[in-house]
Amino acid sequence: MTAIPSVLITGASTGIGAAYAERFARRGHDLVLVARDKARMEALAARLREESGVAIDIIQADLTRADELARVETRLRDDRRIGILVNNAGASVGGSFIEQTTDDVARIVALNTTALLRLASAVAPRFAQAGEGAIINIGSVVGLAPEFGMTVYGATKAFVLFLSQGLSLELTPRGVYVQAVLPAATRTEIWERSGTDVNTLPAVMEVDELVDAALVGFDRRESVTIPPLPDAGQWDALQAARQVMIPGFAQVHAAERYRTAA
């Protein structure tokens, strides 16, 4: 791995992915941009090459297609210059669960979970062998709050959080850093694509502020970064409460409350 590793970013043509590309280019990292929209990536790459002088490769890929996803996996396995993966590509779909088609929700799961998982799986063994590297997984606070009513999208983001936490426990001792970033509503095209007018939402963070905050967490080596959360102690308290329950899970018999008739 090079002294300044290359960064592969999915969903890199616009929004959060494009902002990560800008920030890492300014830090002197060469980039591999992955998205469906080749024209947008080419325009972004041309600007960043001129501004920062970094090398930028483009992979046009629909990560819900197995053959195109496999090309990105191969790049991650074989290109030892890549030392940071930003798993950003994601999508949502409008409507309630019973209004969404089965095909639509299956595509959301394929992009938000399967593609993210396969890319992490492709690169993690190489990182672990090298004893260095970083994986940034973009989740969402929706994965913590079924009350928001985005059932399938929230479920995929809960998966991202759990996977990231599990990988962090497994890979940190091997020298690999894993960060889950949990944005709240952020001004990206995901809203328009899912049929939602972003201007109707009560509080929306700008992309640049979100990514800058996420990179503060990255530099601090936080395992979970929640840019909109004012009180970090609330997250710490949630984690502490969860950990208190863990010893109670290993029991031979059902809890007393389930062995007593109502």
Rounded to 5°, the CA angle 163-161-4 comes to 75
> Quick one: which H or E segment has residue 89?
none
**DSSP structural state of residue 180:** E
Q: Is 177 a catalytic residue?
A: no
In the chain, alpha helices (H): 15-26, 38-52, 66-78, 102-109, 116-130, 151-171, 190-193, 207-219, 232-245
Catalytic-role residue among 20, 153, 177, 258: 153
**DSSP structural state of residue 205:** B
Best CA proximity match to 13, nearest among 189, 199, 201: 189
What type of residue is 167?
A: L
Q: Please provide residue 198's backbone torsions phi and psi, each rounded to the nearest 5 degrees.
A: -60, -25
Find tokens 């710490």 and name the residue: 236
Q: Please provide residue 121's backbone torsions phi and psi, each rounded to the nearest 5 degrees.
A: -65, -35
How many Å apart are CA 213 and CA 34, to the nearest integer?
Answer: 23
How many Å apart are CA 5 and CA 114, to the nearest integer?
Answer: 25
Extract the tokens encoding 125.
């063994």
Extract the tokens encoding 191.
């809203």
Extract the tokens encoding 162.
């759990």
Beta bridge partners of 60: 35
Find tokens 């980039």 and name the residue: 31
Find tokens 């930028």 and name the residue: 56
**Which residues are marked as active site?**
153
